Amino acid sequence: MGRKQVEPLTGAALLEKYKQLGHLSHEEKAKACGYYTVTQSGKERISKLKFNKALLEALGMKIDSKPKRGGSRGGRSASYRITVQANGNLLIGSAYTKQMNLKPGDEFEITLGRKHIHLKQVSSNGHSIDDEN
């Protein structure tokens, strides 16, 4: 006895079907959109996790179950945290400067707040880049 495997909806088709099924429960919506399997004993098992992930991705939010590391080069990823070094300096890693397309010699103006530090990039004529716009 052959079972017909339903291909789950994704993207815009998933969102459209989800809107049409507004009156159903979340599990019923998942099943109607193809997010279920049939076990060997013939029971249907709703794949809520896959359904939720597909909904988020259809809304433009990429969800990876396993974070990818630096590819073939390996390495660490930026954590958006820095630590005060033993000599009192703060060292901002190259991951941040590359992400911001900063070049050697770029200058910043430091503004100290009560619990934070602001860096404003300074142009070659000595003015803050924000002030030039």
Q: Are 59 and 51 in contact (CB under 8 A)?
A: no
Evaluate whether residue 47 is within a structural domain. yes
Domain count, the chain: 2
Question: pTM of the full predicted structure?
Answer: 0.45
Evaluate whether residue 16 is within a structural domain. yes
pLDDT at 46 over 50: yes
User: Element (H or E) spanning 53, and its range?
Assistant: helix 48-58
pLDDT at 75 over 70: no
Evaluate whether residue 77 is within a structural domain. no
What is the extent of the structural domain holding 125?
85-132
Q: Are 120 and 112 in contact (CB under 8 A)?
A: no
For the domain that residue 113 is a member of, what is the CATH number? 2.10.260
Shared domain check, 127 and 91: yes
Looking at residue 93, what is its pLDDT? 75
Most confident of 5-14, 65-74, 118-127: 5-14
